[in-house]
Amino acid sequence: MKRPFSICVYCGSRAPAAGPYAEAATAVGRWIGEHGAQLVYGGGNNGLMGVMASAALSAGGRVVGIIPQALVEKEWAKQDCTELHVVSNMHERKHQMAERADAFMALPGGIGTFEEFFEVWTWRQLGYHDKPVGLLNLDGYYDELLGFLR
């Protein structure tokens, strides 16, 4: 059996679960599920992460969450993921997410989202992978960052 196309999505764990960012996270999760793809993400149940994962599951998609034990202990894990992998630290989390993904996307988020996104983008630039990497620039969220990068 062929593995479904896997999209690793980075996004906020503390962002509101309502409003335009939550609507976008829902749309992304739904699209993944409706297209028979697999969401790979940080395994959280809060914020945009939880909204997106719930939408993917509701649309029939597979959801692979990868979360460090320390965050499980804070009760931040989404227990109904198709697969929930508990790892020892953030480095292992990021490595497993990258290994399981065929493409990477960042939705609005904070410093953790930026850090994870920039790491896989750097890996691509260095030739460690050739997978697509992209930002969902919802309502100009990333405009200033993109201006700085230009």
What is the average pLDDT value for the chain, to the nearest integer?
Answer: 95
10-49 tens-digit pLDDT:
999 886 667 899 999 999 999 999 999 999 999 999 999 9
**Which domains are assigned to the chain?**
6-116 (3.40.50.450)
pLDDT of 21 reads 93
pLDDT of 75 reads 86
**CA–CA distance from 140 to each of 90, 145, 146 (Å)?**
29, 10, 10
**CA–CA distance from 127 to each of 44, 110, 115 (Å)?**
29, 26, 18
Residue 2 has pLDDT above 80, yes or no: no
- Give me the half-sphere count of Cα atoms (radius 13 Å) on the Cβ side of residue 58: 12
Which residues fall within 8 angstroms of residue 118, CB to CB, at 6 or more apart? none
pLDDT of 18 reads 74
Identity of residue 145: L
pTM for this predicted structure: 0.94
Helix (H, G, I), strand (E, B) or coil at 4: coil
**CA–CA distance from 36 to each of 7, 53, 80 (Å)?**
11, 14, 18
Strands 6-10 and 103-106: parallel
Give me the residues paired with residue 84 across strands. 65
pLDDT of 17 reads 66
Helix (H, G, I), strand (E, B) or coil at 37: coil
1 pLDDT band, cuts 50/70/90, is low
Identity of residue 7: I
**CA–CA distance from 19 to each of 25, 41, 51, 52 (Å)?**
10, 21, 11, 13
Element (H, E) at 22: helix 20-34
pLDDT of 106 reads 97
pLDDT of 124 reads 97
69-95 tens-digit pLDDT:
999 998 899 999 999 999 999 999 999
